[in-house]
Amino acid sequence: MLKRYGHVVTLLALGVLQVPMIVVSGFLLMLSFALGMVFLYPTQVMLVRRMAELHRRLVTERLGVTIESPYLPAPPPPVPQPDGFYRADRTLYKTPRVPEWNNRFKWLLGDPGTWRDQSWMLLDPLVKLLLLPALLLVPRRGLAIYARWCRLLLDATAASRLAGQVSHLTRTRNLAADSQAAEMRRIERDLHDGTQARLVAIGMTLGAVEELVEKDPAAAKALLARARDASSETLTELRRVIRGIHPPVLAERGLIDAVRALAMDHPMHVTVDADLPKRAEAPVEAAVYFAISELLTNAARHGDAQKVSVDISAHGADLRVTVMDDGMGGADPSKGSGLSGIERRIAAFDGVLALHSPPGGPTTVTMELPRVLPVPEAAARKMPRWKMVVVTALWATAWCPTFPQGIVAAVFKIFGVEEKTWFLALHLPLPWQWPTIIGMIAVGVFMHVMAIRIPATHDHGRLMQDFSPLTLVKPWKP
């Protein structure tokens, strides 16, 4: 009870603070649009948004009602044209300041969440005043009503959620494209600097052999031996490049065996502890494999590590990978150690990377990729226990209002059967009998519909999760 009164006092204190903020924000709006001082408008919007975000956080954390942020994604920074100028509508600018300010102004002005915040800010003190008796006498009920009021105006809309998903997919696509371009540049560099140079050398050697085969057979024979050795080295180099694109063991044996093979060939002492019930999709396995390979390279090259442990585990449908080395630590993604590239690689699958690398070590990198592992069909379709109890109870009792208390009672009523037995409607006064019979039939039909609908919506929700836009993104293949 004291905790609820503490929440009430906090909300009322914020209500007192809101009154002068309303005056200030209204004055800023008037200056922005009535007097043309539009540069004050972003300040006014952000002032209101901070108060709205504070209430969202309080309602979510203290009252247990989740309110999501409703704002549309911020516009991306302006990109210069080939001539170096920045375009805003039909005007060109030398610097991005004016186009960036214009985009920000249009974003704030056109976001429906902005005007919903303005309406909430204006009405919220009045709502708190009207709810004051309930907040003081029955704080639990008053807080629940206030949470619903905040959710009405401050919660995310379908349009804002969709815009957020589109923005997320756009960022994911760009990250995947950047990572793919980087991989193509690496492969091109390896082929140009290694395989191509060796093939050119072999061609030149064979040309020399053609000139010496009649004049100096011994020298020609020596050059042929050299060309044979070069071709063997070229084949080894080409196999290394192929393994860098997609190791055959990864495609044939899966992620665990591929990482173990990588550990066996590595100069450091690498231990692998893996437990995956089923294989993930090939793009996911490739992304995780190359991320682990990059982390092992970083541990040897930058951390002077001697021992590395790799742990691969499944947490439901989530894949978690932990790589820990005994190096000197101090890893920093901004120093070009490859960690930013790993983040881009796993971001294509909504993956996140956590780094703990204090000076002196050890360095621990944890990667988690959500919903990338197949869930057993039985576990995916199994309903929660409470749903199963509700469905069983509905099927066990729905027959009673539908048939004996509804249809059978209606037949008795139509044909004038005097036997009332246990039919509830026939024991009531005459004007109430038909409404009761119809109501019983309606209740029974509703119970049958719910008994069918609950399992159907459960499977539909699972299918919608499986075929959501986030899971339909086509990840790149390295």
Total number of domains constituting the chain = 4
> What stretches of 213-281 show up as alpha helix (H) in DSSP?
217-245, 248-253, 255-265
Last residue of a domain, one of 226, 245, 264: 245
375 is a domain residue: no
Residues 31 and 151 in one domain: yes
At 434, list the tokens. 């038909």
- Cβ atoms of residues 75 and 20 within 8 Å: no
Residue 478 CA to residue 475 CA, distance in Å, equals 10
- 375 by DSSP, 3-state: which? coil
Residues 364 and 393 in one domain: no
For residue 308, what pLDDT band results from cuts at 50, 70 and 90?
very high
User: What percentage of the chain has pLDDT greater than the value 90?
Assistant: 13
Specify the range with the lowest mean pLDDT, choosing from 41-50, 314-323, 408-417.
408-417
Residue 52 CA to residue 69 CA, distance in Å, equals 9
Q: Which domain holds residue 384?
A: 380-466
Residues 241 and 259 in one domain: no
* pLDDT tens-digit map of 166-215: 776 776 666 666 666 666 777 777 777 777 787 888 888 888 888 888 88
Residues 289 and 346 in one domain: yes
What was the pLDDT predicted at 191? Answer: 76
What was the pLDDT predicted at 245? Answer: 67
What was the pLDDT predicted at 244? Answer: 63
What was the pLDDT predicted at 99? Answer: 86
What was the pLDDT predicted at 196? Answer: 79
Residues 122 and 214 in one domain: no
* pLDDT tens-digit map of 6-52: 888 998 899 899 999 999 988 998 888 888 888 899 999 999 999 99
> Exposed, middle or buried: residue 425 (CB in 10 Å: 0-12, 13-18, 19+)?
buried
Q: How far is CA 66 from the centre of its chain?
A: 18
Q: How many CB atoms lie within 10 A of CB 415?
A: 7
User: What percentage of the chain has pLDDT greater than the value 70?
Assistant: 88
Q: How far is CA 362 from CA 267, 289, 325, 339, in A?
A: 19, 22, 6, 16
* pLDDT tens-digit map of 49-71: 999 999 999 998 888 888 988 88
Q: How far is CA 343 from the centre of its chain?
A: 14
Specify the range with the lowest mean pLDDT, choosing from 135-139, 268-272, 339-343, 428-432.
339-343
What was the pLDDT predicted at 476? Answer: 36
CATH number at residue 285: 3.30.565.10
Residues 453 and 423 in one domain: yes
Residues 217 and 361 in one domain: no
What was the pLDDT predicted at 458? Answer: 62
- 461 by DSSP, 3-state: which? helix
Residue 53 CA to residue 279 CA, distance in Å, equals 42
Residues 128 and 220 in one domain: no
Single-letter amino acid, residue 198:
R
6 is a domain residue: yes
123 is a domain residue: yes
Residues 25 and 142 in one domain: yes
For residue 375, what pLDDT band results from cuts at 50, 70 and 90?
low
What was the pLDDT predicted at 266? Answer: 83
At 424, list the tokens. 């509830």
What was the pLDDT predicted at 471? Answer: 36
Residues 347 and 226 in one domain: no
348 is a domain residue: yes
430-435, long-range: CB < 8 A, 24+ apart: none
What was the pLDDT predicted at 468? Answer: 38
Residues 267 and 306 in one domain: yes
Q: Which of 425, 459, 419, 458 is nearest to 444 (CA)?
A: 425
Beta strand pairing call for 307-315 and 269-275: parallel
Average pLDDT (315-335) is: 85
What was the pLDDT predicted at 419? Answer: 76
What was the pLDDT predicted at 461? Answer: 44
What was the pLDDT predicted at 475? Answer: 36
476 is a domain residue: no
Last residue of a domain, one of 313, 344, 369: 369
Q: Which of 410, 468, 415, 397 is nearest to 436 (CA)?
A: 410
Return left, alpha or beta for 336; rule: phi > 0 is left, psi -120 to 50 is alpha, else beta: left
Average pLDDT (114-140) is: 90
Residues 235 and 336 in one domain: no
Average pLDDT (341-365) is: 85
* pLDDT tens-digit map of 77-97: 888 887 888 887 778 888 888
477 is a domain residue: no
What was the pLDDT predicted at 376? Answer: 59
CA contacts within 13 A on the Cβ side of 62? 19
Last residue of a domain, one of 328, 349, 369: 369
At 476, list the tokens. 């790149």
Per-residue b/e over 203-232, b at no fewer than 16 CB within 10 Å? eebeebbeebeeeeeeebeebbeebeeeee
475 is a domain residue: no
pLDDT above 50 (res 469): no
* pLDDT tens-digit map of 238-274: 776 666 666 778 888 889 998 998 888 888 899 999 8
Residue with tokens 């080395």: 325
Q: Chain-wide mean pLDDT for the chain?
A: 82
pLDDT above 50 (res 472): no
Single-letter amino acid, residue 341:
G
What was the pLDDT predicted at 180? Answer: 66
80 is a domain residue: no
Q: How far is CA 400 from CA 119, 205, 421, in A?
A: 50, 95, 14
Q: How many CB atoms lie within 10 A of CB 305?
A: 23
- The answer to whether the Cα torsion of 89, 90, 92, 98 is positive or negative is negative
